[in-house]
Amino acid sequence: MSLYCIGDLQGCNAPFQRLLEKVDFSPSRDTVYLLGDLVNRGPDSLGVLRSLMALGDAAQCLLGNHDLHLLALSQGVRKLGRNDTVQAVLQAADSQALLDWLRHRSLAIHRHGWLMVHAGVLPQWSAVQTLTLAAEVEQMLRGPDIKDFLSGMYGNLPAKWNDRLKGADRLRVIVNALTRLRFCTQDGAMEFTSSEGASGAPEGYVPWFEVPGRLTEATPMAFGHWSTLTTDAPGLPRLRHNSLPLDTGCVWGGCLTAAKLGAAAGEFELITVPCERFKKPGKTPN
């Protein structure tokens, strides 16, 4: 039995299939954890979702900001943008089944000693609290009030977590941290304007995983979302403060990377396949 974590697919189904073939993946034997942003920007979001559904429990998938955007589009609370490439999902004969499957995915997973999220966690959250807060959002996505939740999901405020937050403000902070976070202050105030690499932190901010004393620092973490974090430094992804970034920019012409998890917590081996840049005018990493 082998266990793998894979970063953002963003609709790149062909490289995903090549990577599964390269590691000789077997759904009856192995498990793959997808770290969110399964869809959008790339050429075949429909193929990605169908492939993942077909893998059953062998594919454990997180939700990223692009996946939540697709759900918002499907509920009519957002409109297609010029860089969106999810129209085929919305128009497919099996669209409802795909979207229902998508909204039942997780926002955080803790397996085999690893805490997995799409983007990041706030410094004052423990691994247990991260999972508990993720479950609050998951309950809304899976329930009858999904449209109301998605309508109130967008926005950058509040910028900081407070245990006393309630309603849409509380859920928005959770979503923003788990699916959009890159930089924050040492007391956990989030910043969303910059998508630079770690060295490009705005004044007063640091990458979330560099905050001293964050409560998850003893827990190995795997995350995606931040392609410039892996492309601004030569070589393959590496552990940074016990956190492993696995978005290696497949949709931008980088590679698609799997981390084969070792027997001990924090151990991994990297496997990659090259990707061709999906050429669509006006794209920027997000």
- Does residue 284 lie within any of the structural domains? no
Lowest-pLDDT range of 44-58, 187-201, 203-217: 187-201
Mean of the pLDDT values across residues 119-145?
98
- Does residue 152 lie within any of the structural domains? yes
- Does residue 279 lie within any of the structural domains? no
R_g (Cα) of the chain, nearest Å: 17
Model confidence at 231, pLDDT cuts 50, 70, 90, reads low
Lowest-pLDDT range of 33-42, 146-155, 159-168, 274-283: 274-283
Q: What pLDDT is recorded for position 185? A: 98
Say which CATH number the domain at 55 has. Answer: 3.60.21.10
Cα 47 to its chain centre, rounded Å, is 18
The alpha carbon dihedral of 130, 70, 6, 230 has a sign of negative
- Does residue 33 lie within any of the structural domains? yes
- Does residue 285 lie within any of the structural domains? no
Contact yes or no for 272/255 (Cβ under 8 A): yes
Domain residues for 234? 3-274
- Does residue 200 lie within any of the structural domains? yes
Does residue 163 register a pLDDT over 80? yes
- Does residue 215 lie within any of the structural domains? yes
Does residue 245 register a pLDDT over 90? yes
Domain count, the chain: 1
**Quick one: angle between helices 65-74 and 95-102, nearest 10?**
130
- DSSP of 209-227, one letter per residue? GGSTT-TTTTS-EEE-S-H
Q: What pLDDT is recorded for position 286? A: 53
Mean of the pLDDT values across residues 45-69?
98
- Does residue 283 lie within any of the structural domains? no
